[in-house]
Structure 1
């Protein structure tokens, strides 16, 4: 799943994102609006993790979301 797909399916994915990263508020999710780099940055900040770890979590989320969409 690439960033265009995340952006295009953001409304459907937003609930799953909220389930996985519950510290992200609905307002922040609205501002992220499917932008992968912003999502990773918000995860990094909210959870106090490294940029690499946040990117890893987003990649894993993308992979699991892609399999669910099939």
Structure 2
């Protein structure tokens, strides 16, 4: 990847991270995340509107992942459709 492509990728990641918001039912999403990452505690997954950054930092710390990885996990969890019986 050349410098120009790398810069574009970094800008896209930063933009996505800056605009991250919880979509849908947080209780359902937090259960999904806890099922996938058992080490996440209820405290780690506490969410308050407008405090997305705090949530991201707690998950980063607990999972030992970078900010962009946490945002990707959160976004992926939001995209999962519930199973219909």
TM-score of the superposition, structure 2-length normalised?
Answer: 0.53
Q: What corresponds to 2:66 in structure 1?
A: 50
Task: Select which of 51, 63, 66 maps to 2:79.
Answer: 63
| SS of residue matched to 1:27 | coil
Structure 2 CA distance for aligned equivalents of residues 33 and 17 of structure 1: 16
TM-score of the superposition, structure 1-length normalised?
Answer: 0.61
**Root mean square deviation of aligned Cα:** 2.8
How many aligned residue pairs are there?
A: 64
Task: Select which of 35, 38, 46 maps to 1:19.
Answer: 35
Q: Deviations over 1:39-60 (max 9, x none)?
A: 3322211111111111111111
Contact 2:29–2:78 (CA under 8 A) maintained in structure 1: no
Runs of 5+ in structure 1 lacking a partner?
none
Runs of 5+ in structure 2 lacking a partner?
1-19
Structure that is richer in helix per residue:
1
Q: Which has the larger radius of gyration?
A: 2
Structure 2 CA distance for aligned equivalents of residues 5 and 12 of structure 1: 11
